[in-house]
Amino acid sequence: MRLKNKVAIITGGSRGIGRGVAEAFAGKVQRSPSWAGIRAACDETVAFIIKNGGSAIAIVADVSKEADVAWIAAETLVKLNRIDLLVNSAAVNLPYREVADVSLDDWNRLIGVNLTGIFLCCKAVLPQMKLQHYGKIINFSSIGGLSGAPGRAPYRASKAAIINFSECLAAEV
């Protein structure tokens, strides 16, 4: 995929895989709105991108909240006029914990970020991508989504669901 003059939204861009993707795109995309829940880390990523010839803006938001995601998509369109690429890498995990010891709040938070966040982000950018007749979406899952393991049920369930969701989305669009 050619990245020149493209606008990429990268979730979880302040650390881990998201930051790695944002840094790899430095100087290759027109602009890269990167969002995460940590302002300082997001600003560090943007500074790296700019230092390396790229252009980026940092936006702090929660991908599990529909209003935040809608705002990010709208802000990107206002500031950059298009959305060519969505990279969904925002994710959370829990410490090793057996199912009987996982609280509903922990379960909901993990599923909210890891799975619902991807759904909301895709839903928010698809209308613009369809209007442009162009767009690419990358949803990060994990090898953990292919098999179970003790103490990892919430995380691995979310990653398995991402694989299936992505296959369904690909069949639709």
Tens digit of each residue's pLDDT (9 = 90 or more) over 146-171: 999 999 999 999 999 999 999 999 99
Q: Average pLDDT in the 39-67 region? A: 84
Could you give the residue numbers annotated as active site?
155
Helix and strand tally (H, E) in the chain? 6, 5
Residues with Cβ within 8 Å of 82's Cβ and at least 6 positions away in sequence, in order, are 7, 128, 132
Instruction: Kindly indicate the confidence band of residue 13, based on its pLDDT and cuts at 50, 70 and 90.
Output: confident
Range list of β-strands (E), 7-130: 8-11, 32-36, 56-60, 85-88
> In whole angstroms, what separates CA 122 from the centre of its chain?
9
Q: Which 3 state secondary structure label does DSSP give 18?
A: helix
- Residue 61 is predicted with a pLDDT of 87
Q: Which 3 state secondary structure label does DSSP give 87?
A: strand
Percent of the chain whose predicted confidence (pLDDT) is above 90: 62
Cα–Cα distance measured from residue 62 to residue 79, given in angstroms and rounded to the nearest whole number: 20
Cα–Cα distance measured from residue 135 to residue 4, given in angstroms and rounded to the nearest whole number: 14
Domains and CATH numbers, the chain: 8-172 (3.40.50.720)
- Residue 97 is predicted with a pLDDT of 96
Residues with Cβ within 8 Å of 63's Cβ and at least 6 positions away in sequence, in order, are 11, 12, 35, 69, 88, 90, 113, 116, 117, 118, 120, 121
Chain position carrying tokens 């839903």: 123
CA distances from 46 to 22, 29, 148, 158 (A): 8, 13, 36, 29
Chain mean pLDDT for the chain = 89
Model pTM above 0.85: yes
Q: Which 3 state secondary structure label does DSSP give 3?
A: coil
Please report the sign of the dihedral spanned by the C-alpha atoms of residue 155, residue 65, residue 59, residue 163. Answer: positive
- Residue 32 is predicted with a pLDDT of 55
| pLDDT (tens digit per residue) in 93-150 | 999 999 999 999 999 999 999 999 999 999 999 999 999 999 999 999 999 999 999 9
- Residue 50 is predicted with a pLDDT of 83
